[in-house]
Amino acid sequence: MMDLLVSDEYSAYKTAILQTYGETITPPRTGKPGRPKKPYTVAPADLQYATVHKTRHKGRVVHEEPRIVFGEEEAIRAALEASPVSTTINTAFVERPPRHRSQSKWPQGPQDGVFLEGRASA
């Protein structure tokens, strides 16, 4: 597992991280009548995950605030100090395609150019 995971607040990331690294807890049966509690997934103690909350005004980012999702602040600081590429929680290395084709410079299909890793590339 990586020392630190950082992303924007795209909700699918938290779910995917829990599915990948999470531990399933099955509550013990109580012996009482009724439906037993469902198993649930929790983040392991050594998982460090933070997000960057971006405040926008008229479509522009005016403020960024780091938020810790899983892990302890001290462990996240230690991971940042050990990092050779970053000293703050940021989304510099995170990129995903825009939601609408009209906003996109990202390739959409074979009409856009050469194939690269299963997608077309312009």
Q: Which residue has the tokens 């938020």?
A: 67
The whole-model pTM stands at 0.69
Q: Which amino acid is at 35?
A: R
Nearest residue to 68 (alpha-carbon basis) of 13, 5, 2: 5
Beta bridge partner(s), residue 42: 23
CA torsion 5-11-17-22 (nearest 10°) is 130
pLDDT tens, per residue, the chain with 122 residues: 678 888 888 888 999 999 999 999 999 999 999 999 999 999 999 999 999 998 989 888 899 899 999 999 999 999 888 888 888 888 777 766 666 655 556 555 555 554 445 444 44
Residues 70, 76, 82, 87: is their CA dihedral positive or negative?
positive
d(CA 39, CA 104): 41
d(CA 49, CA 90): 12
- Asked if 113 contacts 122 with a C-beta cutoff of 8 angstroms, the reply is yes
Helix (H) or strand (E) holding 63: strand 60-70
